Amino acid sequence: MRQQFIFFFLLFGLHGILAQDTLDAVLVKYGDSLVTYISTAELAEKENMVVLDSRKKVEFETSHLKNAIWIGYDKFKPKRVLEQLPDKSTPIVVYCSIGVRSNHIGKRLMDLGYTDVYNLYGGIFEWVNEARPIYDLEGKPTKNIHAYDREWGRFLEKGDKIYGKKRPKQP
């Protein structure tokens, strides 16, 4: 009996460790892929894209992509976006940590009539993992990046992971 318990514990315990989802699997599992992806390399080459951050405010305040506009996820206000971006043909890239929340916000933007909307594949985590720059609220480059939580933070391989509800003090 004890040997069976140990066998099942090892079998299921190791399964949880070994069966961690890849980024692709997570994006398929939690997203419906209704918004076309754009790679970090493609975004880095574009100059005419409006970049929208769909993370929590504290995540944005910790760091964000250059010139990104915070629109949030739970606090997303369609009226505010319509006021800021009245031209619905404006090319838009939405991002979050890895691309799940931004997929949902991208779909909402399309439902509002925006016609040129993209979701940043891998989100800001992929951007940072590729050693691309991120900025603090003062517009200065930073290594701090809000990792959302420990589960999602495993997709973040570079940068200084920040957790919690308060943004870190800048040096």
Question: Among 123, 128, 127, which Cα is nearest to 106's?
Answer: 123
Q: Is pLDDT of 157 > 60?
A: yes
pLDDT of residue 27: 74
Instruction: Summarize the confidence of residues 85-102 as an average pLDDT.
Output: 96
Assign 133 to helix, strand or coil: coil
Q: Which CATH superfamily is domain 21-162 in?
A: Rhodanese-like domain (3.40.250.10)
> What residue segments make up the domains of the chain, in order of their start?
21-162
Instruction: Summarize the confidence of residues 138-166 as an average pLDDT.
Output: 92
* Residue whose structure tokens are 């838009």: 92
37: tokens are 């992806």
Name every residue whose Cβ is closer than 8 Å to that of residue 56 and which is 6 or more positions away in sequence. Answer: 72, 73, 74, 146
Note the pLDDT tens digit of each residue in 48-88. Answer: 999 999 999 999 999 999 999 999 999 999 999 999 999 99
Residue pair 53/68 in contact by the 8 Å Cβ criterion: yes
Pairing assessment for the beta strands 69-70 and 50-53 based on DSSP bridges:
parallel
CA-CA distances (angstroms) from residue 78 to 57, 72, 133, 139, 154? 16, 11, 29, 26, 31
Q: Is the dihedral of CA 146, 169, 52, 67 positive or negative?
A: negative
Q: Is pLDDT of 169 > 90?
A: no
What is the value of pTM for the model shown?
0.83
Identify which has the larger pLDDT, 25 or 153: 153
Q: Is pLDDT of 8 > 60?
A: no
